[in-house]
Amino acid sequence: MKLDHPKLIRLLQKAYSAEQAAAFAYIGHAKASNLVEEKIAIKQIELDEWEHRREVLSIMSQYGIPVSSFYEFQFYIIGKVISASCFVIGWFMPHFFAGKLESGNVCEYFVIMHYFHELGIKEHDQVLYDMGIKEKEHEVYFLEQVKDSRLLPIFEKLFGWGDNKSLNDVDYTNIETVKESIKYCKIK
């Protein structure tokens, strides 16, 4: 079955490639960390990103959606640059920007779900929900790491994410069911 929904196709292609960039970034992030517990947590997040990439590819394959060479190249470079930068920008910034990135990724999967619903397709709801909630879990982890930093209020004001601002409307303390999650990340 071919999908007649250019925004959905583009978002799936972008999500697939961006998951690789995130995984590459976390490889550098974990290697740059001096704390064993932190290395383990970030390695698990990296593994989650690779799993998300496999899941997105599975969905794309079901509909004959090709991988975008442009996005693959673009996000490969982004991931490698971020990975290398983790060794020179200190401890706070990799955690802060990883949290901000994950915060934005949450809605990516719920918007994909909304787009599928526009086509009357609900068979991917569970996997998209699981990936969106996993991204929220990552956001919460990174926020927890930086919440006591004196830099957080400054970065939150400059970059629009932090203790009082999120890029999604998922309340991690009161997560909705798959069926109720349609209220998350409404398309404007």
Q: Where exactly are the structural domains of the chain?
A: 6-183
DSSP string, 147-188: TT-TTHHHHHHHHS-SSS--SS---TTSPPPTTGGGGTT---
pLDDT value of residue 1: 80
The angle formed by the CA atoms of residues 49, 26 and 172, to the nearest 5 degrees, is 60
pTM of the predicted structure, to 2 decimals: 0.93
pLDDT tens for the chain, 188 residues: list them. Answer: 889 999 999 999 999 999 999 999 999 999 999 999 999 999 999 999 999 999 999 999 999 999 999 999 999 999 999 999 999 998 999 999 999 999 999 999 999 999 999 999 999 999 999 999 999 999 999 999 999 999 999 999 999 999 999 999 999 999 999 999 999 998 87
| Inter-residue contact 24 to 82 (CB < 8 Å) | yes
The CATH architecture of the domain made up of 6-183 is Up-down Bundle (1.20)
pLDDT value of residue 2: 87
- For residue 133, CA distances in Å to 73, 140, 147, 148, 164 come to 27, 10, 20, 24, 19
The residue type at 180:
E
